[in-house]
Amino acid sequence: MRLFPSRRRPGFHAGDDLQAGIAVRLDGVRSEALETGRSRLIATALAFVAIFGVIVVRLIDVSVLDYQSPRQSGPAKARTDGIEMERADITDRNGILLASSLPTVSLFARPDDIRAARVDVEQAAARLTEILPELDVAETAATLSSSRQFIYLRRNLTPRQHQDVNALGIPGLQFEKGESRVYPHGSLLAHVVGMTDIDNSGIAGIEKHFERTLRESREPLMLSIDIRAQTIVRDELARAVAEFRAIGATGMVMDVHTGELLAMVSLPDFDPNDPPPGTDPALFNRATKGAYEMGSTFKLFNTAVALESGRININSSFDATKPLVFAGHVIHDDHAQNRWMSVPEILIHSSNIGSARMALEVGTETQRAFMARIGMLAPPAIELPEVGAPLVPNPWREINTITISFGHGLSVTPLQLLAGTAALVNGGEYRNPTLVAHAPDQEIPGVRVVRPKTSAQIRDLMRMVVTVGTGKKADVPGYEVGGKTGTAEKVGHGGYRRKAVLASFIAAFPMDDPRYVVLVMVDEPQGTKETFGFIAAGWTAAPPTGRIIAQIAPLLGLMPKPPTPPQPVAERNRDGRPATATSQTGGHDVAAFD
């Protein structure tokens, strides 16, 4: 066999060194084999380099060039790996998981199969209760020997329970695959997210309202809630309830331009992973279901309709020298000034007499029409089944006009108060509140309820309530908080209960360009040494409101501004710009009451 057919075989002659010739030929073979191996190694190395190069380029493309922020791309589906659940997840606006489903199994029995296999039901029941101690031996034995064809013994077993029951090998016992809803944050969002029943069907909150959507969609449902704000609001409400020995509280935060709710808390609450009985008061959502007389917070609406009517301007003044007697009723001020008061003073001092005289000047029909426009006469539109209807007087007489001016005689939900105030401060447009997140660039149309000029004046007045009026304890340096206190006696048998009140504070910030409104309502606070025994909203609801704003403002991207001295309320042009200024207190000191 020729190794090198292209070459001519060398000849040998007598005297030649035969061994040397063979060595030369072998050296040539080795050299060529080495060259071939080296070429193959180089080719293989280049192939590996090319493959790794493609991988590196793809990694850069995926992780860097194709990157999107979580808010833009949406949160990843929180699915159990390899298993599609029947119900979609629920997340907050930042993609934090609020509700999800886990695969589980349920234990059921077929009594006919148990009888056919001649199983000792007493012994089987005893062995089952060793693994599932919540079962009763006698009841389980009766179930296993019943005439029913199918009966559940235990729903949603743990993996250990599943394994241990299966290991018993009892004929007639079988397992059904399913899923169980879990709520990672427990009671934090109980009244928002709601819960499902044993069959994983929504029975409360978002779970019930979006029942069909959650079953049909494979993508998570993103709520407007920011769990950071939700945590802060709940912590401060719990602190207020404990400090003032209150029976409950509610609090909310809303974006004034979109209507998105960033927080909604109602105390007491419950853990949807282990819900209480259906009659437990913790299931009641005070924020959306309860209708209350909101007290002096309604003076914001009374002032707005007065300024909007054209009959009253910021310079108008009203007689508050003595109580107002009307149709056998006596209207008085808790801390009477006993003098004529300007529109700013009436709001700052929270004068019932001045508010009543303003309402009479405006008239019943104008007041009722305004309350309808600003959402006070119909249930609020919100994605929850637990929504209460307002209690509206019918007929709406002049005495109702008077009492409604200072927050009595018309009961509304706290959510209605929040949404109405947002319309007063955002330039004058009402937007329905929502628990579903909007796209960042989505325009939310609104319905105009007051002129920009009126809105600007209300903002000035709300700021004054905090700087020199009843809401001083809600002020937060650098955030220009404005607001209004409200302390409403609760209705009892035979009339109002003097020592049982709803203390509320409705706030907005920053008042030069409002972004958010905040509501805190404390139900039946008790006086303390620190409040000198007072239970009014300025002492009980304003402080937690200020603490909430101080904590959530930086989280929401609002930086504090240098403090500025209080400015007098200004007459405004039609576009809301200041015109001529008026005295904010008429030369009199302002007492911080209500």
Tell me the catalytic residues.
296
Q: What is the side-by-side order of every strand in the sheet holding 495-509? A: 261-267, 248-255, 516-523, 495-509, 482-492
Q: Say how far apart CA 258 and CA 486 lie, in whole Å.
A: 26
Q: Tell me which amino acid residue 524 is.
A: E
Q: Tell me which amino acid residue 197 is.
A: D
Q: Say how far apart CA 318 and CA 297 lie, in whole Å.
A: 20
* Phi and psi angles of residue 232, each rounded to the nearest 5 degrees, phi first: -65, -45
For residue 461, give the H/E element and its range.
helix 452-468
Q: At 337, list the tokens.
A: 């000034």
- Who's near 164: CB < 8 A, 6+ residues apart? 131
Q: At 459, list the tokens.
A: 């903002």
Is residue 439 within 8 A of residue 388, CB to CB? The reply is no
* Phi and psi angles of residue 439, each rounded to the nearest 5 degrees, phi first: -65, 145
* Phi and psi angles of residue 292, each rounded to the nearest 5 degrees, phi first: -135, 150
| Half-sphere exposure (Cβ direction) of 372: Cα atoms closer than 13 Å | 8
Nearest to 527 by CA among 517, 537, 518: 537
Q: Which of the 8 DSSP states describes residue 199?
A: T
Place of tokens 């101080």: 550
Q: Say how far apart CA 224 and CA 67 lie, in whole Å.
A: 24
What CA–CA distances, in Å, run from 233 to 239, 518, 535, 544?
Answer: 10, 10, 21, 9
* Phi and psi angles of residue 47, each rounded to the nearest 5 degrees, phi first: -65, -45
* Phi and psi angles of residue 543, each rounded to the nearest 5 degrees, phi first: -60, -50
Is residue 173 within 8 A of residue 109, CB to CB? The reply is yes
